[in-house]
Amino acid sequence: MEENREERERGELLGNRLIDGMPVFAKELIAGGVAGGFAKTVVAPLERLKILFQTRRAEFKSLGLSGSFTKIAKTEGVLGFYRGNGASIARIVPYAALHYMAYEQYRRWIILGYPGVGRGPVLDLIAGSFAGGTAVLFTYPLDLVRTKLAYQVSDSSKLNVKGLVPREQVYKGIRDCFSQTYKEAGIRGLYRGVAPSLYGIFPYAGLKFYFYEEMKRNVPEKHRKDITVKLVCGSVAGLLGQTFTYPLDVARRQMQVQRVLRSNGGDMKNTMETLVMIVRREGWQQLFSGLSINYLKVVPSVAIGFTVYDVMKSFLHVPARDETVVEVTTSRSSQPLSLHSPSLSESQQ
């Protein structure tokens, strides 16, 4: 018993040393990736339905939420709710990791480089916007593949619905979808619809952090570290940000699946043309199709994401934001000037 306890203590000590030896940005990457992957898996069924509502309005819109659940369960089984989730997880883990880490890094860089900006909600608006754009650019092809896989339904070839072609291209999996998409249109094909993604993520990510920090300001100081308060503020902030930017998400999904859909009206050239075409064909309400499902998805997703991220940061011994800024500032100011010092070399150039 004593030997087992000593071994456990040695193992814990070694683990703590390894964790403490990791750079802060690596810890933030791990914490963000775990949080994103876990939250995405929990809400995957609602994500599948949202994509189908956005892209297959004629088939699923009339069925409603419960009818769509029943249809997928009967035709595809339980696993049908997770169609495309593999690609979704493959995307969300690096996306969430980059998003959280980039947000923390941008925030530190702005504080150090532009002290006049301050540390209020405007700082979080700027840092969140750039972090969202950075994460999208690096992970967009995975989002495209996830959407194409989620768009497929098992019995679609048997349906005869106006605007849909019976013979749709069927992808066997993530690798096959990547391969066929690249053969069709190259790199441009893998980034089809990235413009509305960027248009949407910049305001969404920025507004989400802006609303979150602004709401926390109105919370009494003694309750600001309460995880429940963080989850409520984060959920409401996510809902507000999503509502303002949701039409761009619909346009993005339509552009992503247009090669598969092949509707009679021709290709959608860009974001604005896609939005106009959707309004003309199906009415402005289609720009918010699936928003109710998205509300159901956003609240638990944001809640779980924030919770797991905080737990992982605590487990990985990530210091508080202000502490990391102080550490960076202190380390920079304590560096002696030498021929190899950045400060001196820069002044000589």
Residue 339 has pLDDT above 50, yes or no: no
Q: How confident is the model at residue 30 (pLDDT cuts 50, 70, 90)?
A: very high
What pLDDT digit, counting tens, does each position of 180-231 carry? 888 888 888 888 878 877 877 888 888 877 887 788 788 888 877 787 887 7
Cα pseudo-dihedral 226, 24, 38, 63, rounded to 10? 80
Q: How confident is the model at residue 337 (pLDDT cuts 50, 70, 90)?
A: very low
Q: Which two tokens stand for residue 121?
A: 């909600």
Place of tokens 């940061």: 313
Say how far apart CA 158 and CA 160 lie, in whole Å: 7
**pLDDT of res. 131:** 93
**pLDDT of res. 349:** 35
Say how far apart CA 77 and CA 5 lie, in whole Å: 47
CA distances (Å), origin 53, targets 60, 135, 237, 348: 6, 25, 24, 61
Residues contacting residue 83 through CB under 8 Å, at least 6 positions apart: 48, 76, 149, 150, 152
Mean pLDDT of the chain: 76
Residues contacting residue 145 through CB under 8 Å, at least 6 positions apart: 87, 91, 174, 177, 178, 181
Eight-state DSSP code of residue 39? H
pTM of the model: 0.69
Q: What is the CA radius of gyration of the chain?
A: 23
Give the number of other CB atoms < 10 A from CB of residue 241: 25
Place of tokens 């999904």: 253
